[in-house]
Amino acid sequence: MNVRVARGAAARTSGRRAEAWAVVWLMLRGYRILGFRLKTPQAEIDILAKRGDVLAVVEVKRRASLEVALETVTFDQRDRLRRAGAALAANRPALSRCAVRLDLLALAPRRLPRHIPDAWKGG
């Protein structure tokens, strides 16, 4: 196996592990997990979670710092994720009254996960 393939496989494994930690973290905080790595026509949603009347589209990033995690999600990606969450909510009667929010759950080495609700307000 070449180095590039090995690095890609390691990154996918690390990403899946981060998403699993994020699911546990959200559940411990009262979120109901509705989906995990959901593929939609607009985007792939890492985690779809609900708490109260909020439908959270959660992007999970494992990076060296929170600042780097925030910067890695581009404006276009955020737009696609918001549209994906809105489309899912509109097509499921039980979710149609929910406010759709784009959250970030950042994981960094030797730190507790950091959940930022509505991480990119207005942007």
pLDDT digits (tens, 9 = 90+) for 69-121: 878 888 999 999 999 999 999 999 999 899 999 999 998 888 888 899 998 88
**What is the rounded radius of gyration, in angstroms, for the C-alpha atoms of the chain?**
15
| Sheet of 44-51, strand order | 32-39, 44-51, 54-62, 99-107, 114-116
Which pLDDT score, from 0 to 100, does residue 123 have? 59
Residue 12 lies in a domain: no
Domain that holds residue 29: 17-116
Cα separation of 71 and 69, whole Å? 5
Which pLDDT score, from 0 to 100, does residue 6 have? 72
Residue 64 lies in a domain: yes
Residue 39 lies in a domain: yes
Residue 77 lies in a domain: yes
Q: How many domains does the chain have?
A: 1
- Considering the chain, what percentage of its residues have pLDDT values greater than 70? 93
Place 1 in a pLDDT band, splitting at 50, 70 and 90. low
Residue 79 lies in a domain: yes
